[in-house]
Structure 1
């Protein structure tokens, strides 16, 4: 085996009951951190774990429909076992993930720093999730040595989250969490994969106005300059609607008369929220995004059986 050949990492998942959906603890090779995750019905049982009496950073995740964005709340606590014994949760959720350490080296200042950094990353990936926090976390000022240690901890958090199937981060953030990140980014992206697609979708009743989506090995990016429907319908998913308004408020979605223009690239985890944003209504992205060269639907290219049919009428 070549020294430059990636060997991967070991993620250990311990299931605490007979049901594979039960409370799980997740560990990563050569890392003192630990994650505890499960569905809401296992939350009280999670609080019984001794490690949660330490400082923790956590995510509460509420999934949505396929054409909407998940909602995420980021938080921290110096003793998570006491965090929600009497207080209400900030959002309804279907999954919780709590990150702490197997030793006592993770302090309150550390988790406050992690909370702010994680919040900032997720806010920057606004096409992948809606961050539910009302206010920006205050964070903390750490010595340079502690910052370096927490950056490593954060990279391991990202690695675990992605390994568990939570596509919340950009390609660069994802690959920087890998021990093979010393390779050029282009090599890391294309290692073993080479599927790249340029896709477009038209606005309702305006077939000459198009939005453009780039697909590279499972990563979707709605491209700057894409035209977005100026009108929305009641079927537009809740969190995509919030994203749309946020982009308008931030000056990243600008009115151009009959349409809006997107002013920056936005990464998405799935194609349907991207096409819902473009069309201003509920959308099946695997059918509504088509390849530029031959107008073949994305779902057909990927071999995905999507519900519904692609209309022959470009005005639809």
Structure 2
């Protein structure tokens, strides 16, 4: 009889108190790293832990409301306790995640390398997160073998963050962690559905294009963006727009601005807000190209019929 092989990974989450929201430690099977995480109110309790006197990389996270993006500060330290025992925080934050190791083999050079890599990954996801760091981390140059080891450490960090609900790195429909040595049948890639919205009111030519892939969205390069904004534009979408302009990713074209690279979003509303230069309900403003259905109707239909289902057509008289 053929036996089915079970795949997966084990995450150990230890809550350090009776309150389920208290400080937590997180470990992943077959990994020498670990994380300490919690809400802002448990920060002082975290500083009392011996693990945080070691070299570490950390994220300070400020959540957002409405269409605004979460803000993340990425830092590193050879002694997190000394760094924050009496120092001001670089940003106001709601929660924190500190990654260190169990055997004290993580060095300052390692965490500086990790800091730069995490910063660069976050900078590629402008539609999902805003980076609070004022300057680019310096990073460090590691020998080839240690670079490979830190690449594995980084993959496990991202795996833990995604498993805990921090979707800062996720690509729509893609896996972030290299497959294990257990053979697994390849998954079918999610089917993309394409939508459009107008950058100019009632314009049929000044269009932006959005692909819905699984639960994620990608605003495609070549999309046209409104050249002007209103006061209703969400603050973090406005900052994203400024960042794109600073990168020369918005170039003038036909009275609009043309986007020169793809941008991933977790919600359709900030994507349409970027396109229109104002607050926007993405569920109402994105129109499916194939049948001109609004995105909100498509999502409701999907919830009823299931992913990938085709709606039944009513029979004729």
Structures share a fold, TM > 0.5?
yes
Alignment of structure 1 residues 1-316 onto 2, 5 Å: 7-171=7-171, 175-180=175-180, 187-188=186-187, 190=189, 194-208=190-204, 209-303=206-300
Q: How many residues get paired?
A: 301
Q: Equivalent residue of 2:84, what SS?
A: coil
> Per-residue CA shift, 1:119-172, capped at 9, x if unaligned?
011112222111111111111111111111100000001111111112212439
> Per-residue CA shift, 1:86-111, capped at 9, x if unaligned?
11111111111110101111111110
Q: Distance in 2 between matches of 1:153 and 1:173?
A: 23
Q: Distance in 2 between matches of 1:154 and 1:289?
A: 36
> Per-residue CA shift, 1:175-228, capped at 9, x if unaligned?
2414359989x94462xxx44311122235143122111111112110011111
Task: Give the deviation of 1:258 after TM superposition.
Answer: 2.4
- Kept in 2, the 8 Å contact 1:15–1:22? The answer is yes
Unaligned runs of 5+ in 2: 302-317
- Kept in 1, the 8 Å contact 2:16–2:22? The answer is yes
Structure exhibiting the larger radius of gyration computed from Cα positions: 2
Q: Distance in 1 between matches of 2:175 and 2:150?
A: 17
- Kept in 2, the 8 Å contact 1:59–1:97? The answer is yes
Task: Give the deviation of 1:37 after TM superposition.
Answer: 1.3
Q: Equivalent residue of 1:121, what SS?
A: helix
CA RMSD of aligned residues (A): 2.6
- Structure 1 residues 23, 242: closer, same or farther in 2, change over 3 A? same
- Kept in 2, the 8 Å contact 1:175–1:181? The answer is no
TM-score using structure 1 length: 0.87
Unaligned runs of 5+ in 1: 305-316
Task: Give the deviation of 1:292 after TM superposition.
Answer: 1.5
Q: Distance in 2 between matches of 1:246 and 1:197?
A: 28
Task: Give the deviation of 1:173 after TM superposition.
Answer: 11
